[in-house]
Structure 1
Amino acid sequence: MGAEEIVLLNEADEAIGTAPKAESHHRDTPYHLAFSCYLVDPNGRVLITRRALDKRTFPGVWTGSCCGHPGPGEGLRAAVLRRLETELGVTADTITSVLPRFRYRATASDGVVEYERCPVVRAVTAEAEPRPGLDPAEVAEAEWRSWDECLELVRHPDSSPWYRLQLAELAPLGPPLGWPDAGTGDLPPALTW
């Protein structure tokens, strides 16, 4: 298996090429395609994860369930399913587009930048226990939390900047099982469903 590639974007969110993921995250990270996923159980709890302590970008921060980069030609749904399986050992029963237009730029304390068009999805699973140890280079811990606990995490200094920005948009939508389907029409041109 070759090195993971990210999809580079122009300001119109069109694909303009690819680059190796490992070499692309630094102080001048190029704008690229990503996604964030909030995994929800039938009781409305959300799986919150802590990023591995030795990750290149934002190590050790608490954030949503999983995030990643769709590969060249890979659809959003396929990328989400792939990362849920490889990072957490879970499958999703349904996946819904919630914030298809989300975009952010954040700089870590060491100067490393994340700069992403990052659609946000909700995935629902009936599986009770994730297995975050499947990929210790990605996930250090995983915990099911109530929606109120997720809202409280925004105030925690060790929550990721994209989590805080996403929750600012998700909080008005109410608890996650009720988040409306935003459809796929506002996904970036570089990304299929």
Structure 2
Amino acid sequence: MTTEEQVVLVDAVGNAIGTAPKTSVHGQETPLHLAFSSYVFDQEGRVLLTRRATHKLTWPGVWTNSCCGHPMPGEPLDHAVIRRLSYELGLSIDGADLMLPRFTYRAVMPNGIVEHELCPVYRVTVRAPAVPNPDEVGEFRWMPWKEFTDGVMSGLLAISPWCREQVPLLDELGSDPMDWSPAPAAELPPAALGRSRG
């Protein structure tokens, strides 16, 4: 029995077409696979930013949004968000709100390693403090949402490539993240609902 983390491979419209070990899919020919991004907010509307641990394969030491990850095969995406927020940031949450159900990006690191993900985006609100896992997170900080969006969209704030693409789309939902209306789960790609093609 293998304990290696598996990721869900998807086709261009979001159907699951197989799985592969996570360690095998981040290279110069990275296939499109299922992931998620989440933005954690506190009661003051500040967003939690994290700096990726320096030993990570992709974008080590880069500041990004609160938490990213991959669902396990057959795992609904909102369950994966909750699981990873607990593991990476010590946060216990009841649910995650879907915001961008079909976000997709492809980014290339200077060394040629590619990220290529179908990556729905979620909003999470918390009351308890974050307790980062040093295996995943090098640093963290809270920032007012407007200060963050202004910094990202002006190019003055260095941030991960997926976050740089997500922020303008989230900003279009409104200036106050607490007022954003969640998207229906039905808008998720089939693979993100834990369903396979066929």
Residue of structure 2 in register with 1:6 after alignment: 7
SS, match of residue 96 in structure 2: strand
What is the CA–CA distance in structure 1 between the aligned matches of 2:81 and 2:178, rounded to whole Å? 18
**Match for 1:151 among 149, 152, 172?**
149
Counterpart check, 1:131 vs 2:127:
no
Query: How many residue pairs align between the two structures?
Result: 190
TM superposition score normalised by structure 1: 0.93
8 A Cα contact 1:94 1:125, kept in partner: no
Residue of structure 2 in register with 1:56 after alignment: 57
SS, match of residue 73 in structure 1: coil
SS, match of residue 185 in structure 1: helix
Question: For residues 55-82 of structure 1, what are the alpha-carbon distances to aligned partners after superposition, in whole Å with 9 as ceiling and x for unaligned?
Answer: 1011111111000001101011110011
SS, match of residue 101 in structure 1: coil
Question: For residues 153-191 of structure 1, what are the alpha-carbon distances to aligned partners after superposition, in whole Å with 9 as ceiling and x for unaligned?
Answer: 412463101001000101122221111111112101111
Matching of residues 10-25 of structure 1 within 5 Å: 10-25=11-26
8 A Cα contact 1:153 1:159, kept in partner: no
SS, match of residue 105 in structure 1: strand
Letter in 1 for 2:164: R
Structure 1 unaligned segments of length 5 or more: list them. none
Distance apart, 1:101 and its partner CA: 1.0
The alignment's C-alpha RMSD in Å is 1.4
Structure 2 unaligned segments of length 5 or more: list them. none
Matching of residues 17-96 of structure 1 within 5 Å: 17-96=18-97
Residue of structure 1 in register with 2:191 after alignment: 190
8 A Cα contact 2:82 2:95, kept in partner: no
8 A Cα contact 1:93 1:124, kept in partner: no
Matching of residues 110-125 of structure 1 within 5 Å: 110-125=111-126
Runs of 4+, deviation exceeding 6 Å: none
Counterpart check, 1:141 vs 2:139:
yes
8 A Cα contact 1:61 1:160, kept in partner: yes
SS, match of residue 148 in structure 2: helix
Distance apart, 1:93 and its partner CA: 3.9
Summarize the Cα distance change of 1:185–1:167 in structure 2 as closer, same or farther, 3 Å threshold: same
Letter in 2 for 1:139: V
Distance apart, 1:149 and its partner CA: 2.4
What is the CA–CA distance in structure 1 between the aligned matches of 2:177 and 2:141, rounded to whole Å? 16
Letter in 2 for 1:61: V
Residue of structure 1 in register with 2:166 after alignment: 166
